[in-house]
Amino acid sequence: MTSDNFRQLVDDLPDLICRYRSDGLLLYVNDAYALFYGRSAESLVGLSFLELAEHEYRDEVERSLARVRRLNLNDAVVVNEHRAVDAQGRIRWQQWTDKGVFDQEGELIEIIAVGRDVTERRAAEEQATYLASHDSLTGLLNRRSVLVRMERLLANARRDQQLVGILYLDIDDFKSINDQRGHSAGDRVLEEASERMVASFRGSDLLARIGGDEFVIVCPSVQSDDQLLPLLGRLEATLAEPMLGLDGLSLTASVGWILSDGVDTAEDLLARADRAMYRSKARRDGETARQKSQASSSDEGSRS
């Protein structure tokens, strides 16, 4: 095969192919490389590929180049991934396989690189990572993920001599909502309740759905219960507002809250907050029963 034929073969490949020096100066690019940037191959040769990198992704490209510069005869190939912006302004993930070319003394003189678009693969990986750490219905953190983050917050709180507040929330009579209105309505209640909770709390707070109709809110850098009470008031007020498309349904919730004590693990604190929530629910149920009993006694008195 002649050099012209080989060059034509390389130009016809869909992969991005280039040769460059260790300082990033391009010596050759194939047609696919030129097409990606919407430029002619001739106009790219002599440029540094760092000049083609968008500002926000330049650090990624520079890290890739630093790894390439460490190539040697015993370790002549490296694979890097970074983002680039194509001629249409789209952000694309590229995977580059870079192979070093060395002189007789073993010095790196140039690099031959083959690049492939891996945007779809990266998106699938990011989605899988997101789903592993978030509740699929509400988009809030899941139990496993919030426990991991709680441990970091607790470590920071101990270092800074701060406390962490944990609110454990259970939507009242949620089973009745599911039974009477159907599971699709129940899902909508959970989604809207989650959105309202996010709007009620601080950006630094962690919100998680840990199962069914139970939620946890983790509030870092607090000193006393007094700092949690306004948050609790906002939460109760926003849940009480009628829910759109659900015939004016409004919610109440049983909430237990505790403060970290400096030694408990995240699991311990979650269990304590859970018990505090059940005490709150028992008080609420007891008050409801008393009100019903008083109403019944009043009705009997009016009939006698």
Are 197 and 214 a contacting pair, CB within 8 Å?
no
Phi–psi pair at 113, nearest 5 degrees: -130, 140
Tell me the β-bridge partners of 206.
218
Indicate the CATH number of 3-123 among 3.40.190.10, 3.90.1150.10, 3.40.50.300, 3.30.450.20: 3.30.450.20
Q: What CA–CA distance (Å, rounded) separates 184 from 204?
A: 31
Q: What is the DSSP letter of 73?
A: T
3-state secondary structure of 159: helix
Angle at 153 between CA 165 and CA 189, to 5 degrees: 55
Are 208 and 216 a contacting pair, CB within 8 Å?
yes
Q: What CA–CA distance (Å, rounded) separates 253 from 231?
A: 14
Annotated catalytic residue within 4, 213, 274, 285: 213
Q: In the annotation, is 213 catalytic?
A: yes
Confidence bin at 8 (pLDDT 50/70/90): low
Q: What CA–CA distance (Å, rounded) separates 273 from 255?
A: 9
Mean pLDDT of 158-176: 91
Mean pLDDT of 84-97: 95
Confidence bin at 304 (pLDDT 50/70/90): very low
* pLDDT on residue 303: 40
Mean pLDDT for the chain overall = 87
Are 113 and 97 a contacting pair, CB within 8 Å?
yes
User: Could you give the residue range(s) of every CATH 3.30.450.20 domain in the chain?
Assistant: 3-123
Terminal-residue alpha carbon distance, the chain: 111
pLDDT over 90 percentage in the chain: 62
User: Could you give the residue range(s) of every CATH 3.30.70.270 domain in the chain?
Assistant: 134-285
* pLDDT on residue 200: 85
Q: What is the DSSP letter of 57?
A: G
Q: What CA–CA distance (Å, rounded) separates 279 from 256?
A: 7
What residue type is assigned to position 214 of the chain? E
Confidence bin at 280 (pLDDT 50/70/90): confident
Cβ neighbors of 233 (< 8 A, separation 6 or more) are none
Is the CA virtual torsion 93, 94, 95, 101 positive or negative? negative
Cβ neighbors of 17 (< 8 A, separation 6 or more) are 10, 29, 30, 32, 33, 112, 113, 114, 115
Mean pLDDT of 55-73: 93
* pLDDT on residue 291: 63
Are 147 and 208 a contacting pair, CB within 8 Å?
no
Q: What CA–CA distance (Å, rounded) separates 288 from 282?
A: 10
- For domain 134-285, the CATH superfamily is Reverse transcriptase/Diguanylate cyclase domain (3.30.70.270)
Per-residue pLDDT of 119-157, as tens digits, reads: 999 999 999 999 899 999 999 999 999 999 999 999 998
